Amino acid sequence: MILEKKIENQVASYLKSICGEGDYNELVHLQKTRAGFKGDITLVVFPLLKLLKQKPAEAAQGIGEYLSDNMQEVMSFNVIKGFLNIEIDPGWWTGYMNMILQEDSLLKKPDNKDSSPVLVEFSSPNTNKPLHLGHIRNNLLGMSISRIIEASGKPVKKVNLVNDRGIHICKTMLAWQKWGDGTTPEKADIKGDHFVGEYYVMFEKELRKEIDKLRSESYTEEEALQKAPLMKEAREMLRKWESGDRETLDLWKTMNRWVYEGFDETYKELGVSFHKVYYESGTYKVGREVVEEGLKRGVLEKKEDGSVWADLGKYSLDKKLLLRSDGTSVYMTQDIGTAVLRYNDFSPAEMLYVVGNEQDYHFKVLQIVLRELGYEWAEKVKHISYGMVELPGGRMKSREGTVVDADDIISEMEITAQRLSEELGKLDEVPPGKRSEVVKMIGMGALKYFILKVDPRKNMLFNPEESIDFNGNTGPFIQYTHARVCSLRRKCSEAGITEQESSPIVDMSSKELMLLKLLYDFQGVVSQAAEDHSPALIANYVYELAKEYNQFYHDHPILRESRRDVQQFRLLLSVCTGRVIKSAMYLLGAEVPERM
C-alpha cells in the first residue's frame, strides 16, 4: 500500500542514519491503529530496540520526530509504550481520493509476459451427474480466488479436471444400456447432465435391491457388493473401456457429450470459465507411465499380486496404492499425471487445487509422492481446502437422488429475487426492458455473496430466502448501495452539479474521514485476500463499506448542501465509493445494477 510503503522507507532511512548502511525494511512492522487509540497507522517498535539500543518510548519518540520532519503526510504522532501511532494529514486522504478518480481500474493488471502464472483448478465435476450445491461453492470460490490473485498483480490460468472415467461412469452407462430404451436428452426434453444423472441414481437403487437380497442370504455388506450382478457387469464394462473396446468407447463419448452440453449451460449461468480443461481419461495414462518409470527406478514397489505402492513410512504415513493388481489406475495416479501435464503446459509458479476438505489427506500425499518421484516443483502443489455447504434440510447424497442441483438453486434464486424485488418496489425505477436483467443480477449476486462471505475453511448453511435481504449482510444490500450512488449521480447531474476531475480540500467530518480511510483499505484487503485465498475478506470489507456509506449518505446531504466545495467533495466521495463497491463485487464474481 502506498502510504505504508512510504513510511517503511522513511523508517529504514532513519535506521540507516543511526546504525549505518543496511537493509532495514524487513524490520519495519506496520499495522492499522487499533480502535480506541488516536492515529491511523502504528509502527511496532519492539523489533527495533536491539538495533537502536534504546528503551521503547525513547525509540518511538525518535522515529516519530523523524517522520514528522520528513513526511508531509504525517500530521502528528503519539507513543504508547512500544507502539508509535501515526496520524495522517486529512489532505492526504483527499489526494488519495483524487487518485482513485483518475485511475482507469482499481485492480492491478498482471504482468503476463515475465511472470509464471498461478494455476487454479476448480469445478472438477463427474460426468455421471449434474453440478450440485457443493459444486456451486467450489466454482464460486475458484472463480473469485482467480480474480483476486489476478487483481494482486499475478497472472492466473484457470483449469478444470473432468472426472470422465471410472466405475461410477460405467454404472451410468450400464443403466442407460439396460433401461434407457434408446432415449436421448433431446427426446426426453431434459438437460443433458440431468438426463445422465437420473441413470446413475437408477443404477444405485437397483444395486441396493441386489445387495439387500444377498444380505438376506447371510452375506456381509462388502461381500454382497462384490457378488451383486450389477457391480460385476459395471466392473466388466470398466475393463472393456480401459482395453479400448469400440462399442463401450462410443457409448462413453455419446453420454459424456450430453453431460458437457449441460455443464456448459450451468457454467454460463454462474459466470464461470476456464483457460484449459483436462480430462482424467487422458491424464491417467500419463500418471500410469510416471508410476511405471518410478517403479523402474526403485522409487516405488510392486507387491506379489502386481499392485504398485509408494511407501510413505518415513513421513509417518501409510503405504499408498498407485496401480491396482490388474494394472488399472486410482485417483492418485490420475492426479500425478495431471500435475505433470500442467507443469509441462504452463511452468506455473503455483498449482492451487480448490477441493473440499475431505481431500486434505489426498493432497498431502500427492505432494509427497510427486517429491518422491523426483519432481522438484512438488512444493508448488497447494490444496485450498473448503468446508461442506448444506441446506436447512441437511446433507445431500447423490446416490440417493437427494442432491439439490445447481440449476435448481440458480432458478430458485432468480424466482425469489423477482418476488422480493417486486414486493419491496426495488424494480420501480428500472425500465421494463431491463428488469429481467436486474433480477438475474440480484439473484446471482445474492447467491455468490452469501456463499463467499463465509470463511472457505468453515462448513456453511445456505438459506436462499435469507440470502436475498435488502437490509442485511447480503449481496442485494450492497447492490442497492451501488444503485443509490448511481441515482445520486443522476440527480446531481439533473440539478446542474457536474463532477469535477478532482476534489477540493474541505474540512471533513469524522464520518467522511472514516469513509475515505475505508476506501484506502481496499488495496490492502485485496492483497491479504490473495495471500489467504479468501474471498470472505473482500465480502466482509465491501459490506462494511456499504454500511459506512449509507450512514454517511443519511447524515451528510448533498443536494441540500449550500456550500459548493462541500457538495462537490461529497459527490466525488460517493463516486469513489461506487467504484470500489463495483470492483469488490467483481472480485466476488457479482455484477451491480445502476438502478434498483
Q: What is the pLDDT of residues 278-309, one digit of tens each?
A: 999 999 999 999 999 999 999 999 999 999 99
Distance CA(466)–CA(86), nearest Å, equals 42
- pLDDT for res 113: 66
Q: Give percent of the chain above pLDDT 90.
A: 88
Judging by DSSP bridges, how do beta strands 381-386 and 118-121 pair with one another? unpaired
Judging by DSSP bridges, how do beta strands 308-310 and 320-323 pair with one another? antiparallel
Q: Where are the domains of the chain?
A: 2-88, 165-273, 275-404, 407-587
Distance CA(513)–CA(90), nearest Å, equals 7
What CATH fold (topology level) applies to the domain 2-88?
A: Gyrase A; domain 2 (3.30.1360)
Residue 396 pLDDT > 80: no
pLDDT, one tens digit per residue, over 451-482 is 999 999 999 998 888 899 898 999 999 999 99
Cα torsion 553, 554, 559, 560 to 10°: value is: -150
Q: How many CB atoms lie within 10 A of CB 189?
A: 8
pLDDT, one tens digit per residue, over 56-70 is 999 999 999 999 999
407-587 maps to which CATH number?
1.10.730.10
Reported CATH class of domain 275-404: alpha beta
| Residue 399 banded pLDDT, cuts 50, 70, 90 | very low
Per the document, the length of the chain is 596
Q: What is the DSSP letter of 329?
A: B
Q: How many CB atoms lie within 10 A of CB 306?
A: 11
Average pLDDT, the chain: 94
| Residue 393 banded pLDDT, cuts 50, 70, 90 | low
Residue 242 pLDDT > 90: no
Nearest to 590 by CA among 526, 537, 539, 534: 539
The identity of residue 21, as a single letter, is E
- pLDDT for res 302: 95
pLDDT, one tens digit per residue, over 476-505 is 999 999 999 999 999 999 999 989 989 999
pLDDT, one tens digit per residue, over 198-225 is 999 999 999 999 999 999 999 999 999 9
**321 strand-pairing partners:** 309
Residue 136, all three cell numbers = 456451486
Nearest to 512 by CA among 456, 557, 570, 454: 570
pLDDT, one tens digit per residue, over 151-182 is 999 999 999 999 999 899 999 999 999 999 99
Q: How many CB atoms lie within 10 A of CB 144?
A: 28
Task: With both helix axes pointing from N to C terminus, report the angle between 246-270 and 229-243 in degrees, rounded to the nearest 10.
Answer: 90
Residue with cell 435391491: 209
| Residue 114 banded pLDDT, cuts 50, 70, 90 | low
Q: Give the count of alpha carbons within 13 A of 507, CB side only.
A: 1
Residue 262, all three cell numbers = 449441460
Q: Residue 181 to residues 175, 201, 399, 563: CA-CA distances in angstroms?
A: 10, 17, 22, 78
Residues 6+ apart with CB under 8 A from 55: 49
pLDDT, one tens digit per residue, over 141-159 is 999 999 999 999 999 999 9
